[in-house]
Amino acid sequence: MRFLDLTLPTPAENLALDEALLDEAEAAGRPTETLRIWEPPVPMVVVGRSSKIAAEVHLDACRRRGIPILRRTSGGAAVVTGPGCLMYALILSYQKRPALRAVDAAHQFVLSTIARALGASVPGVARRGISDLASAPGGLKFSGNSMRLKHDHLLYHGTLLYDFPLEVIEECLAMPPREPDYRDGRPHRSFVANLPLAPAAIREALIAAWDAQEPYSDWPRQRTIELAGERYSRLAWNERRNEG
């Protein structure tokens, strides 16, 4: 698997690169798998493709803090990320891993792989709900994840909190419209935690888990620029209303 450790200057460019990697894999005509790791240089809220911002985000708090709101191309609910939160993206091939065409199988495969890798240092890490990773005791969430499916590949990406100011989550996000059973109605401050690992250790665990040993420098720059300009930097994309 190829490995890309790259953070771009702006929130729009960073979200665009995840999608550009998926587009690149689809166009390659062969199985193309990549692990990317990055860390946002500034705080930002990222909502799901179908999220209703007014229902999931405290807009006034975000504006007061100067935190931008962007919309990703994958599903799920809103997250807050920034310095102190590693982000990862996986591009996986259906030709290599045909079972991943089933959505729950994809969640189970990716999250169980990451849980095993992190669990070697933090016992009790496990998949919880549909697409969370949480640690014991108490089932405290430190990772939220989502996916985008295409014809030959999928994009699976998510957050890994390790030193994030958790009060920002409480301030910027409303309670989600759908809650996993294990949340049990807990507010963000009682439900979310930082993983007690240094970022270097998290990076090493992910690289080893996915055997991402092929350095990748020729990433899709032009497609990233196009997507950032056409989509992720535009209010028409990020703040569109979803009525359905």
pLDDT at 137: 82
pLDDT at 50: 93
Q: Domain 2-238, CATH 3.90.1300.10 — does that match?
A: no
pLDDT at 136: 86
pLDDT at 244: 35
H/E stretch holding 215: strand 214-215
Domain parsing of the chain, residue ranges: 2-238
pLDDT at 241: 62
pLDDT along the chain (244 residues), means of 10: 98 98 97 98 96 96 97 96 98 98 98 97 96 93 98 98 97 94 95 97 98 97 98 93 46
pLDDT at 243: 39
Helix, strand, coil shares, percent, the chain, to 5? 35, 25, 40
Q: Which pTM was predicted?
A: 0.95
Please tell me whether residue 90 adopts helix, strand or coil conformation: strand
